[in-house]
């Protein structure tokens, strides 16, 4: 089974109804895709009130991939708003449990920063993540190439498998040690594929300019590239029960159209979407 979605639901204008309000964007989104990444949880752990609102706005079969808070992954550059690491993880666990109790948690995504290299201390920290998030399915995403070096790649995959982690397969710009190759390996019953675009310039200059967020994921996949990715995803599907595919190349609002094209290429149909899926919208993709 292959499920396709996007990172976040608030910035994909091509899939909203013309008269849709800001508060209706998730409902509109869930009329097109069966999964979504909660990317806002990276910046601040959402309140139970907000989560329950999102749960009510989506169909019973809809699933959320909840991105780990930046204080848990080493991204946080400001002062941590939590008094202790235990308090921070407890707040996130309560967040994830709210999704899980509604049977809408696909997995927790733990994305490590580019400087999180393959080293003993970082392996130990991943073990700590396992202890803290033991009640949830957890996907690990690396952004440092050392995890996939010729000497370490097999060890990395075996480590993820032995510890019950979901391997995140990434399609992203090849821009030195702060990026990873496409490694189609499965370590659990589910696999996660995150598609970031191939904008090498934007990737390398991340954070160095005021508008870096506008260019980092600025990329529109052509049909040949999407077809190649679709074939690789089909191969992944042979190795596990479910493949979750997330398009993150949305600096120029290309993610939704690329996702729709891939859906057509794979000939997959999503059941149980929100009822306001209007047929005339489909002609726009």
**Model pLDDT for residues 175-201, shown as the tens digit of each residue:** 889 999 999 999 999 999 999 999 887
The string of pLDDT tens digits covering residues 90-103 is 999 999 999 999 99
- pLDDT-derived band at 219 (thresholds 50, 70, 90) equals very high
Q: Does position 206 have pLDDT exceeding 70, yes or no?
A: no
> How far apart, in whole angstroms, are the C-alpha atoms of residue 9 and residue 117?
31
> How far apart, in whole angstroms, are the C-alpha atoms of residue 159 and residue 249?
29
- pLDDT-derived band at 202 (thresholds 50, 70, 90) equals confident
CA-based nearest residue to 179, from 199, 159, 207, 154: 199
- Report the mean per-residue pLDDT for the chain: 92
Mean pLDDT of 201-229: 79
CB 107 within 8 A of CB 138: yes
CB 33 within 8 A of CB 6: yes
Q: What DSSP element (H or E) covers 281? A: helix 279-282
What are the start-end ranges of the E strands in 8-160?
Answer: 35-38, 63-67, 105-111, 138-141
Residues shown for the chain: 285
The pTM (predicted TM-score) of the whole model is 0.92
CA-based nearest residue to 139, from 93, 89, 190: 190
> How far apart, in whole angstroms, are the C-alpha atoms of residue 99 and residue 107?
10
CA-based nearest residue to 66, from 50, 80, 85, 83: 50
């Amino acid at each position: 089974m292959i499920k396709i979605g996007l990172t976040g639901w608030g910035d994909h204008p091509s899939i909203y109804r013309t008269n849709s309000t800001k508060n209706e964007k998730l409902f509109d989104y869930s009329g097109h895709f069966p999964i979504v990444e909660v990317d806002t949880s990276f910046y601040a752990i959402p309140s139970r009130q907000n989560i329950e609102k999102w749960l009510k706005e989506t169909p019973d079969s809809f699933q959320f991939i909840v991105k780990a808070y930046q204080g848990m992954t080493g991204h946080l550059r400001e002062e941590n708003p939590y008094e202790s690491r235990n308090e921070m993880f407890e707040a996130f666990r309560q967040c994830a449990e709210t999704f899980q109790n509604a049977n809408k948690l696909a997995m927790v995504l733990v994305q490590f920063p580019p400087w999180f290299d393959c080293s003993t201390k970082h392996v130990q920290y991943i073990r700590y993540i396992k202890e803290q998030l033991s009640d949830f399915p957890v996907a690990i995403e690396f952004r440092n190439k050392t995890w996939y070096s010729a000497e370490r790649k097999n060890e990395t995959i075996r480590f993820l498998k032995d510890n019950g982690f979901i391997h995140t397969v990434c399609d992203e710009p090849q821009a030195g040690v702060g990026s990873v190759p496409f490694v189609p390996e499965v370590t659990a019953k589910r696999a996660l594929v995150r598609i970031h675009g191939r904008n090498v310039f934007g990737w390398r200059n991340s954070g160095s300019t005021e508008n870096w967020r506008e260019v980092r994921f600025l990329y529109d996949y052509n049909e040949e590239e999407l077809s190649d990715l679709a074939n690789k995803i089909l191969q992944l599907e042979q190795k596990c029960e479910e493949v979750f595919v997330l398009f993150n190349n949305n600096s120029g609002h290309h993610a939704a159209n690329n996702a729709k094209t891939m859906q057509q290429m794979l000939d997959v149909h999503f059941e149980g979407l929100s009822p306001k899926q209007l047929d005339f919208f489909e002609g726009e993709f």
